[in-house]
Homo-oligomer: A and B are copies of this chain.
Amino acid sequence: MTTDDPHTDPRLHLAAFLNAGPQGTVGWRHPDAGDGFLTAAHYTRIARVLEGAGFDMAFVPDSLAVPRSLGDSFDPAVTWGTGTPRLDPIPVITLMAAATEHLGVAATVSTGYQEPFHVARGMATLDHLVGGRAGWNVVTSFQDAEAQNFGQDRLPDRQTRYDRAEEFLEVTARLWDSWADDAIVADKESGVFGRPDRVRAVEHRGERFAVRGPLSVPRPPQGYPVIIQAGASPAGRDFAARWADVIFCSHESLESAVAFYTDVKSRAAAHGRDPDQLKVLPAATTVVGTDLKDALAKHEAFTELVHPEAGLSRLAYHVNVDLTRYDLDGPLPSLEEVGVEGHYREVVEFAEREKLSVREIGRWYGARTEGNMIGSAADIADTMEQWLDAGAADGFMIQATHVPAAFEEFADHVVPELRRRGLVRTAYTGGTLRDNLGLTRPARGEWRHRARPAAGGRP
């Protein structure tokens, strides 16, 4: 399959992971990093680079708090830029869409602290205004600091969060479906504006939400904006297999990526969906050089910029352990001492194996990126093609170490190589983000097929 035929769906879908703020722990500090992360020009420039490279979409993550990582203080986050500042993604992606014609734009919105009516209306509005190019990354949030900005002391547990997300998605999709696609007539001659029988209320009265509807915005051009999800837990996978059009994930090995890909595709099939209508995009942080040695040198130079305490701040953000209270030149405290499982266990094991000090762990963790692909353009294209062939991916979520430069390097060097292999589009052929991704447009009422079957059984 090649993209010489402009009507061919590309095999390799490209999304760009872009913070609405400084990019990563150290991305702001790179000599080639732009400092305009509070300006429109920064985002529109990146949008045009991505469109030139045939990307399906830009993807903006989110967090609803300044991370409280060290000693329950927000200081280090500010000092070293760990995820702060973080702009509201909606105006950011609106500007990126306005600067382009084909690029899809997706924003992260948590179901934890929003109302379905607001999200349904905002996403429907955006989808109309940008001609069917909007996407919604559904998250349930993960920090106590976020809950504390919305009247709660602590983050609800995972099951509670997913139960809320489930009801949230059902109401949102029903609001999108409250107008038939042909509800508006707007016939000036007769004075008939719309067809009343083609708009209906929602009348939802659930455990968490009561929403009468209808939405005040007609059905989105895409039916539903593209729904993206990144849950890795069993609850998250089940939710994504039913609701998501795109799954974003992160895997350090081809084997775990294949296992994940196989699992979520079969979950989708088990729910009666065409597995090809669920696209899986693992993270890929690319560092491209003239050859492997050059790329490794680039990566090393990037790592050198990491402030060790910025890395410790990031680690604390992820596992809630403040290592700055320990001797920076001493060994990592044991699992018994700090009592955190999971991700922290892996870090301790790595530190013991490599005999790293707290300071060295900080530098390593701060420079850590997801799905590293380091090498020449051909090396990176080889890896990507290998993942496609192995059934590990339908494309990649490209993460940049610093912006816009790392996206520009990817566009200038890796994309031409991928295009030579017929993997990435040379021109856009469809009008919407669903078209970019090879996804069909949901018919009105599609929510019934995606919602979790009710205990009592839903018709």
Residues of chain A touching chain B, judged by Cβ–Cβ distance below 8 Å, are 20, 22, 28-31, 33, 35, 38-40, 43, 63-66, 73-76, 78-81, 84-88, 90-92, 94-95, 98-99, 113-115, 117-118, 121-122, 124-126, 128-131, 145, 148-152, 183-184, 186, 188, 191-196, 199, 201, 209-218, 305, 307, 310
Bound form: Cα–Cα A214–B279 in Å: 37
Interface pair B90/A214, CB less than 8 Å apart: no
Of the candidates B29, B145, B201, B214, the one whose C-beta lies within 8 Å of that of A188 is B29
Q: Can you pick out 23 interface pairs between chain A and chain B where the beta carbons lie within 8 Å of each other?
A: A28-B186, A28-B188, A29-B188, A33-B188, A38-B218, A39-B129, A40-B130, A63-B216, A66-B216, A78-B193, A78-B195, A78-B196, A84-B216, A85-B184, A88-B121, A88-B126, A91-B129, A92-B125, A98-B99, A113-B118, A114-B118, A151-B209, A152-B210
Interface pair B113/A115, CB less than 8 Å apart: yes
Interface pair A192/B121, CB less than 8 Å apart: no
Interface pair B148/A188, CB less than 8 Å apart: no
Interface pair A122/B90, CB less than 8 Å apart: yes
When distances are taken between beta carbons in the complex, the residues of chain B under 8 Å from A79 are 192-196
Chain B residue, CB-CB nearest to A307: B191
Chain B residue, CB-CB nearest to A200: B74
When distances are taken between beta carbons in the complex, the residues of chain B under 8 Å from A199 are 66, 74-75, 78
When distances are taken between beta carbons in the complex, the residues of chain B under 8 Å from A98 are 40, 94-95, 98-99
* Copies of this chain present: 2
Interface pair B125/A88, CB less than 8 Å apart: yes
When distances are taken between beta carbons in the complex, the residues of chain B under 8 Å from A201 are 74
Decide if the interface of chain A is mainly helix, strand, loop or mixed.
loop
Interface pair B94/A39, CB less than 8 Å apart: no
When distances are taken between beta carbons in the complex, the residues of chain B under 8 Å from A145 are 212
Interface pair B216/A129, CB less than 8 Å apart: no
When distances are taken between beta carbons in the complex, the residues of chain B under 8 Å from A43 are 129
When distances are taken between beta carbons in the complex, the residues of chain B under 8 Å from A210 are 148, 151-152
When distances are taken between beta carbons in the complex, the residues of chain B under 8 Å from A91 are 90-91, 94, 122, 125-126, 129
When distances are taken between beta carbons in the complex, the residues of chain B under 8 Å from A214 are 66, 74
Interface pair B78/A217, CB less than 8 Å apart: no
When distances are taken between beta carbons in the complex, the residues of chain B under 8 Å from A186 are 28, 35, 81
Interface pair A29/B191, CB less than 8 Å apart: yes
When distances are taken between beta carbons in the complex, the residues of chain B under 8 Å from A39 are 128-129, 131
Interface pair B211/A86, CB less than 8 Å apart: no
Bound form: Cα–Cα A35–B189 in Å: 13
Bound form: Cα–Cα A79–B212 in Å: 19
Interface pair A28/B193, CB less than 8 Å apart: yes
Interface pair B216/A40, CB less than 8 Å apart: no
When distances are taken between beta carbons in the complex, the residues of chain B under 8 Å from A212 are 65, 145, 148-149
Bound form: Cα–Cα A148–B117 in Å: 10
Bound form: Cα–Cα A20–B217 in Å: 10
Interface pair B95/A149, CB less than 8 Å apart: no
Bound form: Cα–Cα A84–B215 in Å: 10
Of the candidates B66, B193, B218, the one whose C-beta lies within 8 Å of that of A81 is B193
Q: How far is the CB of A176 from chain B (nearest CB, A)?
A: 13
